Amino acid sequence: MCVPAPGWDDRSGRGKARFRFIWGIGEVFLRHRQLKVLAPNAAAAPGGFLPSSRECTVRGASDNLNLDCDDPEFESPNNEPHIIVDPVDSEHMIASSNDYESCCDEFYTTFDGGRTWKTGDMSAESPSSIGSDPVTAIDPVSGNAIHSSLNFEFTEEGLATNGDVVVSLSKDGGLTWDEPIVVQDGIGDDDDPVQLFNDKQWVVTDTNRDSPFYGRTYLTWSRFRFESGAYIESPIWESHSDDGGETWSDPQEISGSSPACTYQEQGGGHDCDEDQGSVPAVAPDGTVYVSFQNAQHEAAWESGEQFEDQYMVARSEDGGATWGNPVHVADLEDGTRDFPLNVDESQTLTGYQIRVPTFGHLAVDPSNGRLYLVFMDNRAGRHDVARPVTDTTVYITSSANGTKWTRPTAVTNRATDQWFPSVDVNPVTGEVGVLYHDRIEDGLRDRLYGTTLAEGRPGMEIHGGCQRRLAPPQLAVLPCRGGGLLEVRLFPWGLHQPGLRQRRQRERSVDGHASLRGPARAWRNRLHGEHLLLAPLGEGNEPGSAVEASAEGGAPVIGAPPR
């Protein structure tokens, strides 16, 4: 699920407590996520939880393989994919996604570098629980795979309730998954006097052998508090585990306070407690950084505008025991009059219906600890007006230690919308790679979109776009023209298989709008200590699709991703 920092007016679809939950847990979200309620029911285990189940085994070329074997009659999408590569065995990878054919998250596990995948459904707290927001880590010390997700239920009135942060462990490399462990409980629904709903969790394990906290796994999330349906706060919380996810530290609020957090929904002070989209990353020395968006920096709001986000980063130097106050990184152009709205009153791109938040990603150079943060906004488009027009751009900023950040610069100068960025650093060359969606300029730019890689060295301009060619062993983006195909040739950093290619074929979605679709394939990378998945855009991310509004804001190319 995707619940951005609250505070937007009704026009933006993010009104304070005007949806049952704010932009994503609201009625728009519930209509589509209830597809999971229609999925086939499964029997509970003796302990009451819904065990994981195997669906099929898929074999083929590792660079061009459709991993899904879902029931074609259900016609359900899989979105928000994520993948992790085992830090001690690059042939072992675990991918996951939202799966609308079942109650739960889908898993895809390979032990042979992507040639053979075993896939199935993750476990859930109960047969009535719904899984969402899949992210996985692999602990090199215990060997456990640690899958984090949200588990929640629907009331008879159709309200989301009891939104828990949970982890499921696999001790056989991702083939079977144990009963979910609740890291933090969710309480109640919109009709209750107090509701606590957790959202947008992310998990990462410290895989740096020289770190004093080697093997420690960190989990962060947003904790939304409502009172009688009225929004109160949504600070960032954290918990960590030293035993492969079996037990977790007491959850703690880590988003702190800052002079840049002036607007307060309740009371005074400078608490930075209206947040969303946290992403943790671990430096070689064990320092943990968490980036997140915050909507309380009133000094950045233009006249007539409200609730534009700022990016902030908090850090811990003692393995998550204590956290410093967050540092302001950048202000975004994503407020109440900066983006057009789709038919469900959610923020979108000009000519599209997809829901597009401005979430970014955080990565650490594994050799020197330098931080890189990417995000997108509409500062280059027509904004602060009643009818905004998007020219969204992906920006990158960096820092040596998280205290001072460079001025955000555009990743590419292409005049086309770009969104859902992910960032990573090549551990061998130090080159920075940024992956993002953008429109395809072929006469149908309002209806087609693809995925582009931009790459460069620190201190140099990062180039992106379909016109950019790079020679092996770098990654190369081939021209986007001709034949109805977008071809991206990848020279991976870790799969040791040069010349891999991914093809995405244009197809028509349900209302005749063209979209891009294609088989999944893994690219070995170190995004947030994890990896990227090039996956199908899927029905949930296609313009005009019947479930378009349920697209969770996670790019199909997410390795920690965004999404």
Contact by Cβ (8 Å): 376, 436: yes
Mean pLDDT of the chain: 75
Q: Does residue 386 register a pLDDT over 80?
A: yes
Is there a domain that residue 555 lies in? Answer: no
Closest C-alpha among 364, 437, 434 to residue 396: 434
Radius of gyration of the chain (CA): 21
Assigned domain for 4 exists: no
Domain assignment of residue 561, yes or no: no
Q: What would the pLDDT profile of 153-193 be if each residue is shown by its tens digit?
A: 888 888 888 999 999 999 999 999 999 999 999 999 988 99
Contacts of 277 (CB under 8 A, 6+ apart): 4, 200, 222, 291, 292, 293, 357, 359, 360
Q: Is residue 489 packed enough to be buried (19+ CB in 10 Å), middle (13-18) or exposed (0-12)?
A: middle
Q: Is residue 556 part of a domain?
A: no
Is residue 139 in a domain? Answer: yes
Mean predicted confidence (pLDDT) in 18-47: 53
Residue numbers of the domain that contains 405 = 10-550
What does the buried/exposed string (b/e) look like for 123-152 if buried means 16 or more CB atoms within 10 Å of the residue's CB?
bbbeeebbbbbbbbbbbbbbebbbbbbbbb
Identify the weakest region by mean pLDDT among 112-126, 385-399, 454-468. Answer: 454-468
Query: If pLDDT is split at 50, 70 and 90, which confidence band does 345 have?
Result: confident
C-alpha to C-alpha distance for 76 and 79, rounded to whole angstroms: 10
Model pLDDT, residue 502: 25
pLDDT of amino acid 80: 81
36's tokens: 């999971």
- pLDDT above 70 (res 297): yes
Tell me the pLDDT tens digit for each residue of 75-106. Answer: 677 878 888 889 999 899 999 998 888 888 99
Q: What is the pLDDT of residue 38?
A: 61
- Predicted local distance difference test score (pLDDT) of residue 244: 98
Within-domain flag for 240: yes
Residue range 395-402: mean pLDDT, rounded: 95
User: Mean pLDDT lowest for which of 19-33, 71-85, 115-129, 326-340?
Assistant: 19-33
pLDDT at 35 (0 to 100): 58
Residue 559 placed within a domain: no
Give the model confidence (pLDDT) of 530-552 as tens digits: 222 333 222 222 222 222 222 22
For range 241-262, the mean pLDDT: 98
Rounded to whole angstroms, the Cα distance separating 219 from 560 reads 12
CB 365 within 8 A of CB 529: no
In a domain, 516, yes or no: yes
Task: For residue 118, give the CATH number of its domain.
Answer: 2.130.10
Percent of the chain with pLDDT over 90: 51
Q: How many Å separate Cα 323 from the centre of its chain?
A: 23
Q: Residue 73: which pLDDT band, with cuts at 50, 70 and 90?
A: low
pLDDT beyond 80 at 468? no
- Number of domains, the chain: 1
SS3 content of the chain, % helix, strand, coil (to 5): 5, 40, 55
